Amino acid sequence: MDTTLQQARRMGASRAIALCQNFSGALEFQGGRWAEAEASLRESIRLFQQIGAADGEALSYQRLGILLTAQGKLDAGLSALEDGVVAAKHAKLRAHLQGRLYASITRNRLLAGDLSAADDALALGQTLTESHGHCALCEALLLPVAVSVRIAQGELAAATEYCDQLDEATTRYGSHTWVALAAQARGELAAARGDIESAVTYYTGARSGFQEAKNEYAVSQCTEALARLKA
């Protein structure tokens, strides 16, 4: 990645630099290097804006919003995601990008304790993602947060249905990340039901899967959940 980025900078290829920085930001976030991730994503946004590439701009805003939300900067995260929604209106992959953005807004509002806004964003995200069929990236964001929203609403049967959809998606995509996402959601559901033993098993499995995928942020989430369960 560094070699590609350096070459793009030597050539003055703004689009290539923006793409490298977008991808680098995502990797730095997963690796827990958040300052580096934010710097990369902000440069990516700036360059995509300069060349009028709305798809790249919207995706970079979405990743920045996720990053800021993970840091607990919920208002700043929401602002970035809303900027992404505006950019996505001019994108070729409008519905796809807006679906991802609203999934991220759902998580942001859920963490902010605004369950009504989270539910509204979830509904918008579902409508948009249904318009373009199965998409691994959209489902990876939407289905886990749908489980979380329904649990927060006390609708455990509906949360179970979303867990089942996650299991189906795992069969389709089959990566360490998908297996881990499904286990993490099952852990959250088991904890909500008071089944601590099952929750520990699911979260432990999810953590192993995220470790295989080198997603340190998700690993830390599972570790924190296990600590709460064992407290």
Q: What is the pTM of this model?
A: 0.91
CA–CA distance, 191 with 215 (Å, rounded to integer): 23
Q: How many CB atoms lie within 10 A of CB 43?
A: 18
pLDDT tens digits along 24-55: 999 999 988 999 999 999 999 999 999 999 99
Higher pLDDT, 11 or 171: 171
State mean pLDDT over 140-167: 95
CA–CA distance, 29 with 39 (Å, rounded to integer): 11
pLDDT tens digits along 166-216: 999 888 887 888 899 999 999 999 999 999 999 999 999 999 999 999 999
Query: What domains are there in the chain, each with its CATH number?
Result: 1-133 (1.25.40.10), 134-231 (1.25.40)
> What would the two tokens of residue 22 be?
């977008």
Tokens 């069929």 belong to residue: 133
Compute the 3-state secondary structure of the chain and give helix, strand, coil in percent, each to the nearest 5.
85, 0, 15
pLDDT tens digits along 56-81: 999 999 999 999 999 999 999 999 99
pLDDT tens digits along 92-142: 888 889 999 999 999 999 999 999 999 999 999 988 887 766 677 777 889
